[in-house]
Amino acid sequence: MRLTNGNCDLLLSEAKGSILSYRINGKEVCASGGENRPLFTLKLLDEEGKGIYHTSLEAQEVTWEHRPDGCTIRYRNIAGSLDAAVQIEKKEENGFGWNLQTENNTGLRLEWQEFPQITVPNRLKGDGGEYELFWPAMEGVLIGTTKRRAASQIPYEEIGGQSGSFGGFYPGSCPMQFMAFYDGEKGLYFAAHDGKHHPKTVEFREEKDGIALEFRLFTEGRRGSYAMDFDMVTAGFAGDWHDGAQLYRSWMEKNVPMPQKLLGKSELPSWMEQSPVVMLYPIRGTVDHGDMTPNLYYPYRNILPFAEKYARETDSRLLVLPMHWEGTAPWAPPYVWPPFGGEQAFTEFVEAVHEQGNLVGVYCSGIGWTVKSTLDPSLDLSDRYDEGLICRTPAGTIEQSRVIGDEIRYGLDMCPWQEKVDRIVSDEIVSIAESGCDYAQYFDQNLGGQGPLCYGEEHGHPGGPGLWQNEAMIRIFQKVREDLKKAGRDLVIGCECACAEPFIEWLPFNDLRYNFAFFAGKPVPAYAYLFHEYVNNFMGNQCIIHEALAPEKNKDSALFRLAYSFVAGDMLTITLGDKGVINWGWDVPWDAVMPKQKPILTLIRELNAWRRAYGRFLHKGRMVKPYVLEGVEDYTLYLCGGGTEVYPALLTSRWQDGSGECRQVIVNFLSHEQQCIVEHHTVYTSPKEEGRPHEGLLRIPPLRAVWIS
């Protein structure tokens, strides 16, 4: 069966409907061997919660209905009483829409369906091939080789059980719903055009004959009929990840109710427009785990001289963000209040920071439950423990949360469906707000704002992950906002990672730690391309960056990462080590050789002056595809365990303001002059100066930024 639409030509097996060929502009983007690959896979759960997998290849009968705009394929008797129907329709995007309906009369729960199953050639650039794969996890990452993931912090695994953890869980640490596979001339766009944001995995995995692009839709443990209420979409395009993201943005803005843009949004506090630099540090211990003895930053007021110093040297307001401050134990949800050392000392600290003209925030740990703290064995929450609040696995058991390791705590995930969870969370957040704090990253470990996976039908929700998770988390966010309003407080709430699509309205400022993408590939700011005009984030605590980029081999990586965040539109972050020295990132041992301090402060001062002056672009603007800079030298990052990622040594991005005016920023983050070639542009070398016409070789001083229009 052959379907053609625009630049896309699709060939399906008449026997089982498998994808045999997908050609874009006459060029193949599908791996060979499709006759033996299913069009879809269904995962059922038996009575003990074990997975039973069935595919379209098992159908005893396959029939076709042909139409001018597509076809319907019916699969009967896949596994006794399991049937399915696939509809494929031509789409205006030069491609096809795909829909799957199942009739599950087995009596077992349907956990997920993977559909359509597309495998592309394993010829990535990092392996000597010609393709790049855009994966939307961790705010956007280009995959150059599938081999690296086997030894990374983010290996491929089937997501299920409880927390989605890092990787391809949407809506979570994977905040978007599209992939792109391209070589510059031809590209395959593969997306879920799902305006309701059903939980799913957006993943890829290496197979013997190629790279499988995986979309698995969680189906709420449905028994009986299940019909997708959205289409999967495949389309052809030319260009790179920007062009794939543009297809997704065009669909999204036409079909999905979007939150209010920051331009014209009045309810956010004014400090968001002042571009504060976030300053992170622990008050106990030096890293995530191990000894938790109070350090030089405790008592709380000990940070005041350092806050004064860095506010002066960066010429910026600071958001002072202590960690390990909780009165229970570090990273010990759900109860964090009162603070370590007592309310009075903490409140006095907040007041003192405010007197300096700076801001205060805190980290928390989301909606988990701490059974036992490894960092403080004296913690005992047994008198408040309610097993009915805890998420269940498919087998009905309770297991350690997958988001945080047992070197920090033995912890569980609380089911967000339970209204008691709303009250616990809101009470803790209001207590934080009453102290005068300006920001709380309460939903750290609820990556992207996600709700943990729960299969406990006894909780009153369906027997598997699904839309109810999103609804439950939004209900929590709503209660928090209502209770803060009643308390007369303007506390801003955030999460770990950039918040995923359905939660943007509720989480306006978040720890966007794109650095985790280095464990899989090359970070790119696709999240900012799609969502920056709706939500701002900060650079994040850059947790375990030393396990991705060894400091001794990447002496300028702190400067690179600051520049990367800046051109992505994010607010900047410094993390303190011993004696108030700026560290590489959170969880980097304090006895490591620290980065050079003066260049970091010089670059932050330069970049943040631009961010404040050009807020119409970098705070409230819309990212657009940049002009390519010619004649730029390479900058190489050396990965732990071998391999490299290469970026231009001049980082750049282009922005459109509310009036439609566009300007492009170019940042030289290195300590020597660099140059590039630009033609017919106006160049702006200072936020306080008018632009001047320029053509040809543009020289950019060290640790400086310029803009062109």
Task: Examine residue 638 and state whether it is found in any structural domain, yes or no.
Answer: yes
- Give dist(CA 557, CA 554) in Å, integer: 5
- Chain mean position to CA 430: 27
How high is the pLDDT of residue 162? 65
Nearest to 520 by CA among 245, 215, 202, 177: 202
Tell me whether the omega of the peptide bond preceding residue 334 falls within 30 degrees of 0, making it cis.
Answer: yes
103's enclosing H/E stretch is: strand 95-104
CA dihedral sign, ordered 166, 169, 170, 174: positive
How high is the pLDDT of residue 434? 97
Task: Examine residue 116 and state whether it is found in any structural domain, yes or no.
Answer: no
Residues found in the chain: 709
> Whole-structure pTM over 0.85, yes or no?
yes
Task: Examine residue 692 and state whether it is found in any structural domain, yes or no.
Answer: yes
| Structure-token pair, residue 429 | 């957040």
CATH assignment at residue 635: 2.60.40
Task: Examine residue 629 and state whether it is found in any structural domain, yes or no.
Answer: yes
HEC string of 399-448 equals: CCCCCCCCCCEEEEEECCCCHHHHHHHHHHHHHHHHCCCCEEEEECCCHH
How high is the pLDDT of residue 73? 98
Contact yes or no for 622/695 (Cβ under 8 A): no
| CB-count burial class (<10 Å; 0-12, 13-18, 19+) for 630 | exposed
CA distances from 698 to 651, 657, 689 (A): 14, 24, 17
pLDDT in tens, 161-180: 766 678 899 999 999 999 99
- Give dist(CA 448, CA 596) in Å, integer: 32
pLDDT in tens, 648-667: 999 999 999 999 999 999 99
- Give dist(CA 557, CA 555) in Å, integer: 6
C-alpha angle 17/19/25, rounded to 5°?
135
Task: Examine residue 701 and state whether it is found in any structural domain, yes or no.
Answer: yes
Task: Examine residue 659 and state whether it is found in any structural domain, yes or no.
Answer: yes
- Give dist(CA 355, CA 151) in Å, integer: 48
- Chain mean position to CA 540: 12
CA distances from 380 to 328, 335, 412, 424, 656 (A): 9, 11, 14, 17, 53
Contact yes or no for 417/439 (Cβ under 8 A): no
Range of the domain at 657: 624-708
How high is the pLDDT of residue 103? 97
- Give dist(CA 470, CA 250) in Å, integer: 24
Task: Examine residue 689 and state whether it is found in any structural domain, yes or no.
Answer: yes
Give the chain's residues under pLDDT 70. 148-151, 162-164
- Give dist(CA 593, CA 558) in Å, integer: 13
Sheet holding 359-363, edge to edge: 492-495, 439-443, 359-363, 318-323, 277-282, 573-576, 582-583
pLDDT in tens, 621-635: 999 999 999 999 999
CA distances from 449 to 185, 333, 423, 574 (A): 36, 15, 17, 24
Q: State the pairing for strand pair 674-684/692-700.
A: antiparallel
Domain count, the chain: 1
Alpha-helical (H) ranges within 494-591 are 526-531, 557-567
Task: Examine residue 358 and state whether it is found in any structural domain, yes or no.
Answer: no
Contacts (Cβ under 8 Å, ≥6 apart) of 660: none
